[in-house]
Amino acid sequence: MKDVTPQIFGIDDKDIDPLSIYMEGFRGKGTDRKFWQTRFNHWWKNNPFYKPGMIRGKLLRDGELIVGFVGTIPVPVQIGGEEVIAYISSSWDVRPQYRKYSMKLLAQLLATIKQSEHPYIINNPIANTDMFYKLLGLRKLPTCFSKKYTIFNGPLARFSCGLPNNTPKWLRMFLSAIEKRIYPLHNNAMHRVVQITKAGEEFDTLWLKSRHSVSNTKSRSSNSINWYCFGNKTYNNKLLFGVYEKESLIGYAIFRESRYSGGTFLECLDLWCDKQDQQIISTLFSYVLRYSSKQYYHGIITFDYAGTKAWLFSCKTFCMEEKSVSGFYQLQQNSKQAITVENSYYVFAEGDVGI
What are the pLDDT digits (tens) for 80-99?
A: 999 999 999 999 999 999 99
Q: How many CB atoms within 10 Å of residue 211?
A: 17
- Quick check: 84 and 76 in contact, CB under 8 A? yes
- Pairwise CA distance, residues 275 & 267, whole Å: 22
- Quick check: 281 and 267 in contact, CB under 8 A? no
Q: Which residues pair with 9 in a beta bridge?
A: 59
* pLDDT value of position 1: 39
Domain ranges (residues) in the chain: 7-140, 147-323
- Quick check: 217 and 208 in contact, CB under 8 A? no
pLDDT digits (tens, 9 = 90+) for 24-43: 988 767 689 999 999 999 99
Q: Which residues of 237-271 are buried (b: 16+ CB within 10 A; e: fewer)?
A: ebbbbbbbeeeebbbbbbbbebeebebbbbbbbbb
- Quick check: 202 and 302 in contact, CB under 8 A? no
Residue type, 192: R
Q: Is 275 left (phi over 0), alpha (psi -120 to 50) or beta?
A: left
- Pairwise CA distance, residues 276 & 351, whole Å: 22
Choices 3.40.630.30, 3.30.70.1530, 3.20.20.140, 2.60.40.10: CATH for 7-140: 3.40.630.30
Angle (nearest 5°) at CA 328 between 211 and 51? 65
pLDDT digits (tens, 9 = 90+) for 152-164: 887 877 788 777 7
Length of the chain: 355
Please tell me what DSSP assigns to residue 127. G
**For residue 201, how far is the Cα from the chain centroid?**
23
Instruction: Please list the ranges in the chain whose pLDDT falls under 70.
Output: 1-3, 28, 30, 125, 179-189
Side-chain half-sphere of 77: how many Cα atoms within 13 Å? 27
Which CATH superfamily hosts domain 147-323?
A: Gcn5-related N-acetyltransferase (GNAT) (3.40.630.30)
Residue type, 185: L
- Quick check: 264 and 258 in contact, CB under 8 A? yes
- Quick check: 255 and 354 in contact, CB under 8 A? no
Q: Do domains 7-140 and 147-323 have the same CATH topology?
A: yes
pTM greater than the 0.75 cutoff: yes
- Quick check: 176 and 160 in contact, CB under 8 A? yes
Packing angle, helices 201-210 and 222-230, rounded to 10: 120
- Pairwise CA distance, residues 245 & 252, whole Å: 12
